[in-house]
Amino acid sequence: MRSVVLGVGSYLPERVLANEELATLVDTSDEWIVQRTGIKERRIAAPGETTSMLGERAARAALAAAGLAPEDIDLIVVGTSTPDYTFPSTATQIQAALGVHRGVAFDLQAVCSGFVFALATADKFLRSGSHKRALVIGAETFSRIIDWTDRTTCVLFGDGAGAMVLEARESAGSMDERGVLTTHLRSDGRHRAKLHVDGGPSATQTVGHLRMEGKEVFRFAVGQVTDVVVDAFAATGYTAKDLQWFVPHQANRRIIDMSAAKLGIAQEKIVATVHLHGNTSAASIPLALAVAAGDGRIGRGDLVMLEAVGGGFTWGSALIRW
Ligand code: ACO
């Protein structure tokens, strides 16, 4: 059994927050932000617009691309660190909004690795034969946990959602057949202090704000994270040369370029949307996939490598025959 991608979709809030406007809020500049991160602008959810609302819209777009209806879905996995509520889960909120009343829906929290963790989890469900069609969603409203007076973090993040529809299909196991070929997940909780939110229901009874040691995160993202891509190559026998597309977590253009160079992945194979979206955490990879599939870059049969890193630290890869 293999999980085959049937469609991807995304949703971005309407409000654009450009670097020039940010420079009126904190002591920063378009030049500093672009030079350090590549980010030009990001989207910000409207008041009252929640993570599940963004996720539902992305899910509907992915279903339309797949040519399916909500009732065709029996598994919904949502990667998010900014749920509407502590509970019920964002996944069950989206399930209800879509009008799906069967199967199972749950959230998964791995910060910016959330989509790759959700994809790996859904893939294991589908391969087991327990479920037939999955919606894998990354949806975030990081604008709600940003300290808008902290210029070292508020320039980096944005809101949005992306989704993918997967279907379980019989497979002879060949690497040429479509589907998720391999996934590799890792975490190391010793790094909590480097990237965390300083609030939460059990510890502080507050929502809290994102705190980050930027240089440490940068060092880890470039130094360590490529191991999961190397694992994916080892598991499948492919090399960087075989890839059509590299779709990494969109945190920072410098991290993306340095990771690709370290892995020997050619610059023209990188899908980058960070300049337009900022870092949308778990939503960043499916947003980038939706852009590159939508404009015809990623096509049937392409070999696509996903790679993500997030707070925890968590990190992971997924290699897909599209
Ligand atoms: N505008 C202008 N100046 C700034 C800004 C800003 N927005 N932010 C910081 N500075 C200043 C600093 O105060 C410092 O000034 P000083 O030298 O007078 O003290 C100077 O710029 C340099 O600061 P550094 O922190 O050394 O800058 P650095 O080159 O490390 O770049 C950055 C900072 C962009 C945050 C970088 O470290 C980075 O990209 N780190 C990774 C962050 C990331 O991707 N996080 C998300 C991970 S995924 C997840 O799970 C959420």
Atom of ligand 1 lying closest to residue 151 CA: 7
What Å distances lie between residue 122 and 23, 150, 201, 242, 295, CA to CA?
41, 36, 28, 25, 26
**CB distance 257 to ligand 1 below 6 Å:** no
Give residue 220 CA to ligand 1 midpoint distance, Å: 14
In one-letter notation, the amino acid at residue 145 is I
Question: DSSP 3-state assignment of 295?
Answer: coil
Mean pLDDT value across the chain:
97
Reported ipTM: the value is 0.94
Tell me the mean pLDDT in the region 23-45: 98
Q: Tokens representing 32?
A: 């500093």
Q: What is the pLDDT of residue 184?
A: 98
Catalytic residue among 131, 154, 209, 279: 279
pLDDT band at residue 10 under the 50/70/90 scheme: very high
Cβ(252) to ligand 1 under 6 A? Answer: yes
Half-sphere exposure of 41 (CA within 13 A, CB side): 12
Question: Is 112 touching ligand 1 by the criterion CB < 6 Å?
Answer: yes
Output the pLDDT for position 148.
98
What are the boundaries of each domain within the chain? Answer: 2-169, 179-321
| pLDDT for res 136 | 99
Task: List the structure tokens of 266.
Answer: 């050619």
Q: Are 217 and 195 in contact (CB under 8 A)?
A: yes
112 annotated active-site: yes
Q: Which fold has domain 179-321?
A: Peroxisomal Thiolase; Chain A, domain 1 (3.40.47)
Q: Which of 196, 209, 249, 277 is catalytic?
A: 249
| Active-site residue flag, 249 | yes
**SS3 assignment, position 133:** strand
pLDDT in tens, 99-154: 999 999 999 999 999 999 999 999 999 999 999 999 999 999 999 999 999 999 99
* Ligand 1 binding pocket mutation candidate from 24, 150, 215, 255 (most atoms within 8 A of CB): 215
- 50 CA to centre of ligand 1 in angstroms: 28
Task: Quote the CA–CA distance of 322 and 319 in Å, as a whole number.
Answer: 9
Question: Roughly what angle, to the nearest 10 degrees, separates helices 90-98 and 51-66?
Answer: 50
What is the model's pTM? 0.97
What CATH architecture is 2-169?
3-Layer(aba) Sandwich (3.40)
In sequence order, the β-bridge partners of residue 267 are none
